[in-house]
Chains A and B, each alone.
Chain A
Amino acid sequence: MKRAVALQINGDTYDVLISPNETLLDVLREKVGLVGTKKGCDLGACGACTVLVDGEAHLSCLMLAVDAAGREIVTIEGLAQGGDLHPLQQAFVEKGALQCGFCTPGMILTAKAALDEEANPTDATIRKKLAGNLCRCTGYKKIIEAVSSAAALNRKER
């Protein structure tokens, strides 16, 4: 049976009618229309569907949408503020950390969760935390550089 659920996404409330067997990923893409969250493997192995749930990196393909009620969800669409890119987004652009861009939303949101947790990570820590996000284009080097430079910028601004 479908349920009426209020989802808090990027600071807005979305009232959606969902079945318990719908994943957060499918609801975000098909019912809310936020298609920045990507469907890759759909089995929790590629990280493309990463969103932040109460500030933590979650795989939206392995989370029931009904379970997301009452929790604060941030998708890639919620990162830029007032037309200004988030420092991580800016760093990805400046360092050329993307090619096809399919993995980028998941990469950036995982990096955000990691930097919010630890402002001054080593490259090894960044690699470890991004290891569940697969990129088939870049070879990862530029991605690590971008996250590292966003972290440095963050520290300078503090």
Chain B
Amino acid sequence: MKVGAVVSGLVATLAMGGAVIAFSTSASPYVTIEQAKRSTGDRLHLAGLIDQKSIRNDVFTRTLRFNLKDESGQSIPVVHRGEMPTNLSEAKNVVAVGGVKDGVFESSQLIVKCPSKYEADKNANGASGQAK
């Protein structure tokens, strides 16, 4: 039983240690625009308010452009290439996943959070969409 306990302990430590290391090194950080500009990562998560007026969707080249404002009030142009979210027109908050190149945030994934239909600030669950 003693050997068993040692092996179990070892496995548990390795498993937890491995997971913590993997998460610490590879989890995708949420960033502000300021941090995004300084980072070289390409899976940065930039959350912000979408400027509905700035949305340009070129369906032929499948390129979506818009401006995103983060919590600090800073704004950055975003170019999204990839799958189009289905419900962008009703979105306020989006998370763009990607990295900054030449002052533009190049996004490969857009996670759209929809304000629910009826309760602007007290919304129901479920009404949401995700572009994967």
A binds B: no
Q: State the B residues within 8 Å of A (CB).
A: none
